[in-house]
């Protein structure tokens, strides 16, 4: 089959990389794609990620299956447009994509469904919000309602900081229109985990657990980002915890969405806090994670296109995912200044040497310019490697990173360190 991947980041490169290795796939396209995909996919230009233009690209290429990478087209209804035109696509409808498109929708959904999450209240006016803040202990979490590229969640450690953050969100100063409604939420303690599954609207097929690193600096300090790295390791959750997540969160979510007339098909990503009371939902995403996709796709060995095809036919129970043994780690190399303002256009060197260390370098924010391969985004590359143990996977990834050079580059040096406590015999 011919498969189209929508998007241009590291997640999409990882999907392209895996789909190009699928026996059922004869051709992979990506729109708009990135330079790292060349050789694995044919990159097709697209003026925007509007549903109409994306549909025109798929029709011109004659693709058999489309896979949506980023959240914005899903929230805008690209899946509905493709289905109306009779084209096969993997992803949730616009109605189902509200699970990521609106934090308010999701929190209300979780409360009504009895799915464990943090206590919260919703506000859209400053004075009312200040009154709500008085009902929460500190630290407290403030979340922009709409899409904010991973930057709409702020942890305030004292009242003055919370009030200033609330004002900035409501005025549109932090994340624009996405902050015009704000969820004020209790701060949960525990260890975070990313739990990603596929659904065909009825069945749930869990992938291996991962752990993201959202803050920009080591030790989980500094502002939130889209993700500075992730690792994939079956030891992140015990067998009991894994089953509890499926029984209390994933299965009930899919069942209730179907009951509400918005059956969920696609990747369902639950950002979890593993608390003393059990797993609780921090957020839902309606697409594969980024950077979680990179370490997961590196380990997945089965025909991904065949699995996604089964999901579009409500036959996901027939899928049998296969993975390589041993954890995998992705270290994100970012532009200077990210997640704030950053400059672009710096030449990138060292990718071939990183590959010789056994790493797969997924492109996220690159383009071809006058100096060859150049930086074009905040998160530039995802240097990804696997190993028989987590310490070895971490070492291989950072050996790869050590070869890469561009002006202003920065990265966290502690990706995967939280997981080492689960490997005591090899640390």
Per-residue pLDDT tens for 176-209?
999 999 999 999 999 999 999 999 999 999 999 9
Kind plus residue range of the DSSP H or E element containing 182: strand 182-186
Largest CA distance in the chain: 59
Lowest mean pLDDT across 119-123, 170-174, 274-278: 170-174
For residue 336, name the pLDDT band (cuts at 50, 70, 90). very high
> What is the rounded average pLDDT of the residues 327-341?
97
pLDDT for 150 beyond 80: no
Q: Residue 413: which residues within 8 A CB-CB, separation 6 or more?
A: 218, 398
Residue 93 predicted with pLDDT over 90: yes
Determine the average pLDDT of the residues in 306-325. 96
Q: Is the pLDDT of residue 102 over 90?
A: yes
Q: Where in the chain is the domain with CATH 3.40.50.20?
A: 2-93
Choose the CATH number for 119-186 among 3.30.1490.190, 3.40.190.170, 3.30.1490.20, 3.40.190.10. 3.30.1490.20
What is the model's pLDDT at position 159? 96
User: What is the phi/psi pair of residue 155, to 5°?
Assistant: -100, 115
Domain with CATH 3.30.470.20 in the chain: 189-318
Q: State the chain's mean pLDDT as an integer.
A: 96
Does the structure show a pLDDT above 90 at 367? Answer: yes
Percent of the chain exceeding pLDDT 70 equals 100
With bands split at pLDDT 50, 70 and 90, how would you rate the model's confidence at 426?
Answer: confident
- Give per-residue pLDDT as tens, 128-139: 999 999 999 999
Residue 327 near residue 406 (C-beta atoms within 8 A): no
Q: Give me the pLDDT at residue 353, please.
A: 98
Does the pLDDT of residue 427 top 70, yes or no?
no
The Cβ of residue 248 has, within 10 Å, a number of other Cβ atoms equal to 17
Instruction: Write down the architecture of domain 189-318 according to CATH.
Output: 2-Layer Sandwich (3.30)
Show the tokens assigned to 326.
Answer: 């041993």
CATH 3.40.640.10 matches 328-422? no
pLDDT of residue 47: 83
Q: How confident is the model at residue 174 (pLDDT cuts 50, 70, 90)?
A: confident
Is-contact 41 98, C-beta < 8 A? no
| pLDDT category of residue 224 using cuts at 50, 70 and 90 | confident
Section 63-68 average pLDDT = 98
* Res 149: pLDDT: 78
- Where does the chain hold its CATH 3.90.600.10 domain(s)? 328-422
Q: What is the chain's Cα-based Rg?
A: 21
User: What stretch(es) of the chain map to CATH 3.30.1490.20?
Assistant: 119-186
Instruction: For domain 2-93, give its CATH number from 3.40.190.10, 3.40.50.300, 3.30.70.260, 3.40.50.20.
Output: 3.40.50.20
- Give the pLDDT of residue 119: 97
């Amino acid at each position: 089959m011919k498969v189209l991947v929508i998007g241009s980041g590291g997640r999409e490169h990882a999907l392209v990389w895996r789909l190009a290795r699928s026996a059922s796939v004869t051709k992979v396209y990506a729109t708009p794609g990135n330079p790292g995909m060349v050789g694995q996919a044919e990159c097709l230009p697209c003026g925007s990620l509007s549903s109409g233009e994306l549909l025109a690209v798929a029709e011109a290429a004659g693709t058999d299956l489309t896979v949506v990478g980023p959240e914005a087209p899903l929230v805008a209804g690209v899946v509905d447009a493709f289905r109306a035109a009779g084209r096969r696509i993997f992803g949730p409808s616009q109605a189902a994509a509200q699970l990521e498109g609106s934090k308010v929708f999701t929190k209300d959904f979780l409360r009504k469904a009895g799915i464990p999450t943090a206590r919260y209240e919703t506000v859209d006016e400053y004075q009312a919000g200040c009154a709500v803040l008085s009902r929460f202990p500190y630290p407290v979490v403030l979340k922009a309602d709409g899409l904010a590229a991973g930057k709409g969640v702020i942890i305030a450690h004292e009242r003055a900081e919370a009030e200033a953050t609330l004002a900035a969100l409501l005025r549109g100063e932090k994340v624009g229109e996405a902050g015009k409604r704000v969820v004020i939420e209790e701060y949960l303690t525990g260890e975070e985990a990313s739990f990603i599954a596929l659904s065909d609207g009825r069945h749930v097929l869990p992938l291996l657990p991962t752990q993201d690193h959202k803050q920009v600096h080591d030790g989980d300090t500094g502002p939130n980002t889209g993700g500075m790295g992730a690792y994939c390791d079956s030891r992140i959750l015990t067998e009991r915890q894994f089953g509890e997540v499926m029984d209390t969160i994933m299965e009930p979510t899919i069942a209730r969405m179907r009951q509400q007339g918005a059956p969920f098909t696609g990747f369902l990503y639950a950002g979890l806090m593993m608390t003393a009371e059990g797993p609780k939902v921090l957020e839902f995403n309606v697409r594969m994670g980024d950077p979680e996709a990179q370490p997961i796709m590196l380990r997945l060995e089965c025909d991904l296109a065949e699995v996604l095809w089964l999901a579009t036919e409500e036959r996901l129970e027939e899928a049998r995912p296969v993975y390589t043994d041993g954890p995998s780690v992705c270290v994100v190399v970012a532009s200077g200044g990210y997640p704030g303002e950053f400059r672009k256009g710096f030449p990138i060197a060292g990718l071939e040497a990183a590959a010789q260390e056994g790493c797969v370098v997924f492109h996220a924010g690159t383009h071809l310019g006058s100096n060859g391969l150049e930086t074009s985004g905040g998160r530039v590359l995802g240097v990804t490697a696997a190993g028989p143990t987590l310490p070895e996977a971490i070492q291989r990834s950072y050996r790869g990173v050590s070869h890469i050079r561009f002006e202003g580059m920065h990265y966290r040096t502690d990706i995967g360190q939280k997981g080492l406590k689960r490997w005591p015999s090899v640390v």
